[in-house]
Amino acid sequence: MNSDKYKYLDEYAKVSAKLQSGDIIFRKKDDDVLDKSFSVDNLGYSQVGIVVTSGENAVVFYLKSDENHSFLQAQKVEDFVKSSKKIAVYKYFTDVDKNLILSILEFYKNNHDKLYNTEFINEVFFKLHGENLYTDLQNIDNKEIITVDSIVKNIKLKKRYEIDF
């Protein structure tokens, strides 16, 4: 991402979008390792995370995978979107207490080995709101998968913005 786009994104995120704890952020980035939940729809995203803010700082929490396992990753939003081709930010219809999010994320720091990323995001939101974030499941290789499409179709989510680079 060139510096003009990075500066634009930084200003847009801080001034126009005002990221809030509980926002869901999607990105499309060529070097992300895709799990099945990202490869079955045409939205083109390769990663999804949940935002936690503190003052003007925003951190994105998501599961990152390699060949052997997945682990909970925390990145400043600027680093999460760096080199992305596209991002989108969605807001759930109710506000979320950031301390509650952090306590849920603390649990998943060591308890996520059987989850893929969209499932992780759904579980966090289920613990926050008592309902699933997805609208339907896709059967892939005899396993029920939560796709990105099934999350963004949730009528309780509002797209706050989307940026193509």
- pLDDT at residue number 1: 47
Cβ 5 vs Cβ 85: under 8 Å? no
**Residue 33 carries which DSSP code?**
P
Dihedral angle over CA of 11, 85, 82, 16, nearest 10: 20
Cβ 40 vs Cβ 147: under 8 Å? yes
Q: In whole angstroms, give the CA distance from residue 111 to residue 72.
A: 9
- pLDDT at residue number 127: 95
Q: In whole angstroms, give the CA distance from residue 123 to residue 13.
A: 26
Looking at domain 3-164, which of 3.40.50.300, 1.10.3720.10, 3.90.1720.10, 3.60.15.10 is its CATH number?
A: 3.90.1720.10
Give the number of other CB atoms < 10 A from CB of residue 4.
8
- pLDDT at residue number 11: 46
Q: In whole angstroms, give the CA distance from residue 109 to residue 142.
A: 28
Q: What is the pLDDT of residues 109-154, one digit of tens each?
A: 877 667 788 999 999 999 999 999 999 998 888 889 898 889 999 9
pTM of the model: 0.85
Between CA 31 and CA 159, with CA 108 as vertex, the angle to 5 degrees is: 60
Q: What is the pLDDT of residues 17-62, one digit of tens each?
A: 578 999 999 988 777 665 555 666 778 788 899 999 988 789 999 9
- pLDDT at residue number 12: 46
